[in-house]
Chains A and B, each alone.
Chain A
Amino acid sequence: MKHNKTPLLAQIIFIIAVVVLWQILYSMEIWPKILFPSIGDIGKALVDGFVKRNLGGMVLHSLKLLLEGLVIGLLAAVILSSLAVTFRPFYAIYNMVVSMMDLIPGVALIPIAILWLGIGDASIIFMVIHSVIWPMSRSTIDGFNAIPNLYIEVGKNIGMSRAQMISGVFLPATLPRIFSGIKVGWARAWRGLISAEMIFGGGAALGIGYFITDRRTNMDISGVFAAIIVIIVIGIIIEYGIFRIIENKTFKRWGMAR
Chain B
Amino acid sequence: MSTPLLKIEHLRKKYDDGTEIIIPDMNLDVYAEDFLSILGPSGCGKSTLIRCIAGLERFEGSVQVDGVSVSSPGPDRIMVFQDFNQLFPWKTALQNIAYPLKINGMKDKAERIRTAEEFLDKVGLAAYRDYYPHQLSGGMKQRVAIAKGLALGSKIILMDEPFAALDAITRNQMQNELLRIKELVNMTVIFITHNIQEAISLGNRVMVMSKNGTIREHMENPLEKPVSPATKGYGELWQHLNSMLTSESQGREKAS
Contacts and interface: CB of A to CB of B under 8 A. Distances in A.
Contacts, number: 65
A160 interface: yes
A158 B78 contact: yes
A215 B55 CA distance: 68
Given A254-B90, A255-B133, A255-B135, A157 B75 contact: yes
Interface stretch (A118-126, A136-144, A168-176, A202-210): A168-176
7 contacts: A150-B85, A154-B79, A156-B72, A156-B73, A159-B103, A172-B90, A255-B135
B89 A254 contact: yes
Contacts of A68: none
B134 A157 contact: no
B75 A159 contact: yes
A26 interface: no
Contacts of B86: 150, 154
B85 A148 contact: yes
Contacts of A48: none
B99 A168 contact: yes
Given A253-B132, A255-B132, A255-B133, A160 B85 contact: no
Interface in B67-105: 72-75, 77-79, 81, 83, 85-86, 88-90, 99-100, 103-104
Contacts of B55: 156
A151 B133 CA distance: 14
Nearest to A256: B89
B171 to A, nearest CB: 21
B152 interface: yes
A251 interface: yes
A248 interface: no
A164 interface: yes
B88 A159 contact: no
The 10 closest A-B pairs by CB, nearest first: A255-B134, A158-B100, A172-B90, A156-B73, A159-B75, A254-B89, A157-B73, A254-B90, A157-B79, A158-B75
Interface in B93-142: 99-100, 103-104, 132-135
A168 to B, nearest CB: 7
Give the size range of A's interface with the partner.
Answer: 20 to 34
B165 interface: no
Interface in B51-69: 54-56
Contacts of A256: 89-90, 134
Contacts of A250: 90
A239 interface: no
A254 B73 contact: no
Given A151-B88, A156-B73, A169-B88, A254 B104 contact: no
A169 to B, nearest CB: 7
A256 B90 CA distance: 8
A227 B78 CA distance: 60
A173 B79 CA distance: 20
Interface string A43-78: 000000000000000000000000000000000000
B140 to A, nearest CB: 14
Nearest to A251: B90
Nearest to B105: A159
B54 A157 contact: yes
B89 A157 contact: no
The winner among A148, A150, A151, A153 for most chain B CB atoms within 10 A is: A153
Contacts of A173: 88, 90
B132 A172 contact: no
The winner among B72, B90, B100, B134 for most chain A CB atoms within 10 A is: B90
B83 A150 contact: yes
A50 to B, nearest CB: 42
A123 B76 CA distance: 54
A148 B81 CA distance: 13
A156 B152 CA distance: 14
Contact of B78 (A150, A157, A168, A169): A157
Given A158-B100, A168-B99, A256-B89, A153 B134 contact: no
Contacts of B90: 172-173, 175, 250-251, 254, 256
A54 B221 CA distance: 85
